[in-house]
Structures are given as C-alpha cells and as structure tokens.
C-alpha cells in the first residue's frame, strides 16, 4: 500500500492531475482540500454510479493528465485501469475487496479492517490545511475524527458539551448546517454543481456561508435554502405520517432531487426506536434507504434480503443502514414483509 507521504510527493511533482470524486460531502471535501492546497487539479464528480468505469476514459483523453486521483469511490473497473495509460492513485475507505491491483492504493482498512475513517480525513493528513473542510466531510460520513481539535478552534459553531455521536453535530449544531449546505449544493444538474463547487473554492471560513458575508457565501446559502425548503416539507410529512407504527414509511417523488439518504438519517436520529423506510418513486421503481439504530439492535441486511425474496428488486449495505430498489408494484408487499419481521 502506498503511504500518505508518498502520495504527497507524487502530487507535488505532478503538473496537471485529474481527480474523480464521489458526489457526497466526503468525496467533495476530499477534492476541495487538495485543490485548495495545490490549485492545479481538474475535478470530475461521479454521479449515479458506485464505479469509475470506461465511460470516463473520454475525460482522461480530453484532459491528458499526468496523474489520476480517485477519491472515495468503492470501485474502479479493470477496463478503466487498463485504458487510462496514466498512473492512478486511489484513496478509499470502503471494503478493499474490489481492489485487484494496477493502481497505487491507499485504504486504512488494509492495515486494520475496523479503521474506516473517511477520505477527507486522509486528505487532510496530506494537506494539513482547512480543518473545517475536512470536518464537513468527516461528519458527513458519520465520523468524529479531528473533532476535539476542531472544537478548540470553532467554539462558537459546536456546543461545549461532550458529543458522542456524529449525528448530534449534524442535526443539532450550527456546524451541522454547513454539512447540509455541502450536501445540498450537490443536488441537481452536474453543470450547476460545478458552479457551486467553484464558489466553495473561494470560501475561506464557514462563517462566510453561515452569515452570508461574501457574495460566494450568499449564493451558496441561497441554493442551500432553496433545496432545504423542499427537504423540510418532506421531513415534516414523514414525521406526521409515522406517529403510530414502529416502521416509519415515507415515499415521495421529485423530478430533480433525491433526499432518501438524508431523510432516513435524520429520521433515525430523531426516532431511534423505530425502523425507517424512505423511498423515492421514479419511473416504475421505488429506490431508497432503510435505517435502524444500534440501540434497537435490529439488523437490516437479513431482513432486507428476506423481504426482497421473489420480488423484482435488489438491496444491501451495512448493519443499520441499507439501500434498495424495487419495482413499484412490489413495494407494498416489500413494506409489509419488513413490517412483519420487525414486530
């Protein structure tokens, strides 16, 4: 495995590196940390697919980089690696099972499988700059690495009490709002997203966004506010529809935005005794997220695979957080089975 010092040296020598990054706060912050420090990266955001595949070779040909970095993506296709003809550094913290060689790979889980600290944490270790950006990515991925150091520097953005769980920062502090800003500016068309990313590259402090002190901060806040209004209506509806039952079911449809993972995360934080099922209806499918909490002890992967048996759909993920998609006509059956199995 390549180490961080070697990665830093390779980046410093590179003339025109190209970065592919995941479209969530951790992926975005990893890219921002590197670009803010070195100011020579071309950034490409990877939407809608967990894998960097040969469709992106075109980007490599267009840009002719001398180095490719891949940040926070769980998979790179063999064809991409074969056809790139450029050295590739891959920094990730998902399961290393998809790594088959051909690239310089950094993944903390190769040393210790329990160490899955986010990619923005490791990028911060490379750049040593912009702690608050690193913190956005870290909290966005439900971790608290660097939190003590962060708290000393930004006393006014987080409470003085001891924080035990990342969602406490995410949903109950001013800094959590910043994490939501980063998450919400990624919603919508790729072209617009790049404009917001270039605004973020000009932002120096979180206060610029929170109190809309600069023009860039104002524009970012306005975008956040617009998306947040839609998000909040969905959140309120989900809460109203779910008073009684142990299983909270909320389905919605929206042309531009998907909120399934944000909604399910916030709902499970607010209602840890329940199981949360959030689905977005799109075309003939319902696609969404399933959540339970550690305190309830309800383990989702087995429930999910049993509930999908014989239906047209797929799903999987972690013990208390899963994703799924299922044909619309099968959704009620799917939901009823989950309901039965958690009683």
Q: Which residues contact Mn ion by CB under 5 A?
A: 26, 72, 118, 141
Sign, CA torsion 162/165/166/172:
negative
Please name the helix (run of DSSP H) or strand (run of DSSP E) that holds residue 71, with its range, or none.
strand 67-71
Distance in Å, CB of 271 to Mn ion, minimum: 25
Which is closer to Mn ion, CB of 120 or CB of 260? 120
Distance in Å, CB of 286 to Mn ion, minimum: 25
Distance in Å, CB of 182 to Mn ion, minimum: 13
Residue nearest to Mn ion (CB): 26
Distance in Å, CB of 137 to Mn ion, minimum: 7
Q: Cβ distance 181 to 196 under 8 Å?
A: no
Calculate ∠ Cα 332-241-328, nearest 5°: 25
Distance in Å, CB of 23 to Mn ion, minimum: 11
For residue 323, which of 281, 283, 282, 277 has the smallest C-alpha distance?
277
Distance in Å, CB of 222 to Mn ion, minimum: 27
Which is closer to Mn ion, CB of 35 or CB of 72? 72
Radius of gyration, CA atoms only, the chain = 20
For residue 75, which of 59, 89, 92 has the smallest C-alpha distance?
92
Q: Which residues pair with 68 in a beta bridge?
A: 18, 88
Calculate ∠ Cα 239-241-243, nearest 5°: 70
**C-beta pairs of 207-211 under 8 Å, 24+ apart in sequence:** 209/178, 209/181, 210/157, 210/174, 210/177, 210/178
What are the residues whose beta carbons fall under 8 Å from the beta carbon of 342, sequence distance 6 or more? 246, 247, 275, 292, 298, 303
Which is closer to Mn ion, CB of 117 or CB of 254? 117
Secondary structure of 158-214 in HEC code, one letter for each residue: CCCCCCCCHHHHHHHCHHHHHHHHHHHCCCCCHHHHHHHHHHHHCCCCHHHHHCCCC
Which is closer to Mn ion, CB of 272 or CB of 317? 317
Distance in Å, CB of 26 to Mn ion, minimum: 3
Which is closer to Mn ion, CB of 34 or CB of 338? 34
Which is closer to Mn ion, CB of 35 or CB of 92? 92
Which is closer to Mn ion, CB of 27 or CB of 313? 27
CA distance 223 to 196: 9
Distance in Å, CB of 15 to Mn ion, minimum: 28
Which is closer to Mn ion, CB of 183 or CB of 242? 183
């Amino acid at each position: 495995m390549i180490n961080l010092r070697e990665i830093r040296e390779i980046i410093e020598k590179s003339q025109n590196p190209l970065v592919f990054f995941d479209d969530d706060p951790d992926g975005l912050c990893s890219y921002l940390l590197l670009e803010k420090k070195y100011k020579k990266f071309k950034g490409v955001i990877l939407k809608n697919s967990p894998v960097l595949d040969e469709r992106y070779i075109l980007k490599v040909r267009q840009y002719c980089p001398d180095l490719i970095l891949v940040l926070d993506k769980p998979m790179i296709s063999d064809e991409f690696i074969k056809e790139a003809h450029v050295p590739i550094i891959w920094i990730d913290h998902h399961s290393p099972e998809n790594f088959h060689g051909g690239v310089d790979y950094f993944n903390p889980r190769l040393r210790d499988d329990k160490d899955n600290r986010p990619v923005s944490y490791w990028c911060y270790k490379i750049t040593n700059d912009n702690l608050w950006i690193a913190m956005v990515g870290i909290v966005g991925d439900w971790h608290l690495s660097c939190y003590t150091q962060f708290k000393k520097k930004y006393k006014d953005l987080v409470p003085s009490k001891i924080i035990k769980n990342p969602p406490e920062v995410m949903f109950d502090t001013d800094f959590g709002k910043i994490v939501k800003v980063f998450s919400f500016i990624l919603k919508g068309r790729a072209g617009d997203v790049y404009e917001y990313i270039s605004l973020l590259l000009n932002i120096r402090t979180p206060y610029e966004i929170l109190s809309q002190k600069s023009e860039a901060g104002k524009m970012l806040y306005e975008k956040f506010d617009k998306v947040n209004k839609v998000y909040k209506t969905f959140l309120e509806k989900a809460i109203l529809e779910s008073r009684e039952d142990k299983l909270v079911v909320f389905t919605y449809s929206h042309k531009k935005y998907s909120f399934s993972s944000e909604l399910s995360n916030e709902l499970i934080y607010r209602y840890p005794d329940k199981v949360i099922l959030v689905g977005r209806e799109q075309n003939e499918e319902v696609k969404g997220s399933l959540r339970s909490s550690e305190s309830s002890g309800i383990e989702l992967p087995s429930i999910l695979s049993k509930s999908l048996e014989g239906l047209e759909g797929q799903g999987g993920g972690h013990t208390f957080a899963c994703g799924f998609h299922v044909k619309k006509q099968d959704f009620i059956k799917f939901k009823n089975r989950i309901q039965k199995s958690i009683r």
